[in-house]
Amino acid sequence: MIRRAGKSAPSTGASGQGADVEITLHAMRFHGLVGILPHERDIPQPIEIDLTVTVAPGEGVIDYRELYSLCASSVTGQTSFLEGLAARVAKSALDHSPRVRMARVAVRKPHVALPGPLAYAEVVVERRADA
């Protein structure tokens, strides 16, 4: 059974028909040109992405490899801000399938030029297909 918000709904197989399903790819790592400083435009830096999609019931499956690939493709090229990269990933995820109802993207950059210790900078965006 798939439980949602205190209620239960029967599941009819691996596709999770009968209830929305969340798929999360956590801590995908890429190298990309993200930032506004001169070295950030020339030297690829590590970028980490979490992608969660909410998928409506329906036939077939959402292929995790394709979700990973759309994240990797979004990192190519130069991006000035993490916000733009996160928005690009969210749009690609929503465009991937009409069954994708929501995309939540967290993008982290561990090497940020700040005057003190910092584990990483993170931007989170959430987009809905109906918005």
pLDDT at residue 60, rounded to an integer: 85
pLDDT computed for residue 10 by the predictor: 38
Strands 21-34 and 7-9 come out as unpaired
**Is there a domain that residue 64 lies in?**
yes
Full-model pTM: 0.84
Residue type, 82: L
Instruction: Tell me how many degrees the CA angle 125-102-25 measures, rounded to the nearest 5.
Output: 75
The residue behind tokens 């987009």 is 127
CATH of residue 104? 3.30.1130.10
Does any domain span residue 90?
yes
Give me 11's structure tokens. Answer: 């599941």
For the chain, what's the residue count?
A: 131
Give mean pLDDT in consecutive 10-residue pieces for the chain, a chain of 131 residues: 36 60 97 94 96 94 96 95 97 96 97 92 96 72
Domain that holds residue 89: 18-128
The verdict on residue 9 lying in a domain is no
Total domains present in the chain: 1
Q: Is residue 48 part of a domain?
A: yes
pLDDT of residue 5: 35
Confirm whether 81 is domain-assigned. Answer: yes
Instruction: Indicate whether 122 belongs to any domain.
Output: yes
What's the pLDDT at 14? Answer: 52
Q: Which of 75, 73, 61, 131 is nearest to 103 (CA)?
A: 131
Query: Which residue is listed with tokens 């928005």?
Result: 87
Q: What pLDDT score does 79 carry?
A: 93
Residue 96 lies in a domain: yes
Does residue 2 fall inside a structural domain?
A: no
